[in-house]
């Protein structure tokens, strides 16, 4: 476990999908019902993970093309359809819509509420979700799930998707602090790399036992297995 000097940190941003929100727990039940009805016998968890990778790839392409940002909810639906086409799974537009909405059960990882509450109780940090999700749906999710942060900051406001530098620069501007006073927390190495490239500190939550990889050999400023350990570091326990 690396340690960074936490004294300068005045704000903490948290990635949403895969860091706070458990994607497999949120979508696997609906996917399982649908895919079994189609005769699919493979791992449903793997399908959810593949979908996440597919929409991450597509969102990066969207940013690279330099046009207006395609809404995240559109990207998620298009890429789920693409994935099913690849898997030879017959589906309709209504199927996709139900899988993403009514058949989903948004679920936080078990360590989220308690440990973000611990951090917030210190009264030392601005706390925000910083996500690729569209602002309106992101704000609703933060509210409905009771995530103990003060605000939601969306890539939509920057006009790009993470890890484009513009997203992190927008977050820094929203928080009104220099980058070195903002700690970004994510369970994805690419997200930490993006944050650190714009001057933010980065805490890698290694939820999936995947070594942190940066092409230049550098490491995250802090690496911990979960949010409890992050809270321990920030509270000095």
For 62-94, what is each residue's pLDDT tens digit? 999 999 999 999 999 999 999 999 999 999 999
C-alpha span between 170 and 32 (Å, rounded): 38
pLDDT value at residue 9: 94
pLDDT value at residue 4: 57
Q: pLDDT averaged over the chain? A: 95
Residue bearing tokens 């509420």:
113
Residue of 62, 85, 198 whose CA lies nearest to 132: 62
pLDDT value at residue 1: 45
Cα→Cα distances 224→4, 142, 146, 233, Å: 12, 23, 24, 9
pLDDT value at residue 7: 79
pLDDT value at residue 100: 97
pLDDT value at residue 237: 59
pLDDT value at residue 3: 52
pLDDT tens across the length of the chain (237 residues): 445 567 789 999 999 999 999 999 999 999 999 999 999 999 999 999 999 999 999 999 999 999 999 999 999 999 999 999 999 999 999 999 999 999 999 999 999 999 999 999 999 999 999 999 999 999 999 999 999 999 999 999 999 999 999 999 999 999 999 999 999 999 999 999 999 999 999 999 999 999 898 777 888 999 999 999 999 999 875
pTM for this prediction: 0.95
Classify residue 199 by its DSSP letter.
Answer: T
Cβ burial 32-45 (10 Å sphere, 16+ → b, else e): bebbeeeebeeebe
Q: How far is CA 182 from the centre of its chain?
A: 17
What is the DSSP secondary-structure string of 100-165? HTTT----B-TTHHHHHHHHHHT---EEEEEESS-HHHHHHHHHHHT---SEEEEHHHHTS-TTSH
pLDDT value at residue 2: 47
């Amino acid at each position: 476990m690396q340690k960074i000097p936490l004294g300068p940190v005045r704000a903490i941003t948290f990635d949403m999908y895969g860091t706070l929100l458990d994607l497999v727990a949120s979508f696997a039940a609906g996917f399982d019902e649908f895919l079994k009805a189609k005769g699919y016998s493979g791992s449903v968890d793997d399908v959810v993970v593949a979908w996440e990778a597919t929409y991450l790839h597509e969102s990066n392409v969207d940013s690279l093309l330099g046009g207006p940002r395609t809404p995240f909810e559109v990207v998620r639906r298009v890429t789920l359809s693409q994935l099913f086409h690849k898997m030879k799974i017959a589906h309709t537009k209504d199927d996709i819509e139900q899988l993403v909405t009514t058949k989903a059960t948004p679920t936080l990882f078990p360590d989220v509420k308690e440990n973000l509450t611990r951090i917030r109780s210190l009264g030392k940090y601005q706390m925000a979700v910083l996500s690729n999700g569209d602002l309106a749906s992101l704000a609703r999710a933060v509210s409905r799930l009771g995530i103990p942060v003060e605000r939601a900051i969306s890539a939509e406001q920057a006009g790009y998707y993470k890890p484009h530098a513009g997203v992190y620069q927008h977050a820094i501007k929203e928080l009104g602090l220099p980058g070195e006073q903002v700690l970004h927390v994510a369970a994805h190495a690419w997200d930490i790399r993006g944050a650190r490239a714009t001057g933010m500190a980065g805490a890698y939550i290694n939820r999936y036992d995947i070594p942190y990889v940066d092409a230049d050999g550098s490491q995250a400023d802090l690496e911990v297995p979960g949010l409890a350990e992050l809270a321990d570091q920030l509270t000095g326990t």
